[in-house]
Amino acid sequence: MGVSCSPDLANLYGCYFEERTNIHSHPNVPFYGRFINDYIGLVYVLDVKDAMAFFADTIIFDNCTIEWLASDSYMTFLDMTLFFDKDKILQ
Q: What is the pLDDT of residues 35-88, one digit of tens each?
A: 888 889 999 999 999 999 999 999 998 888 888 889 988 999 999 999 999 998
Between the CA of residue 20 and those of 23, 24, 90, what are the distances in Å? 8, 10, 29
CA atoms of 1 and 18, how far apart (whole Å): 21
Long-range contact pairs involving 51-56 (C-beta distance under 8 Å, separation at least 24): 54/28
**Which is it for the CA torsion 80, 84, 85, 90, positive or negative?**
positive
- Reported as a single tens digit per residue, the pLDDT across 5-20 is 888 888 898 899 899 9
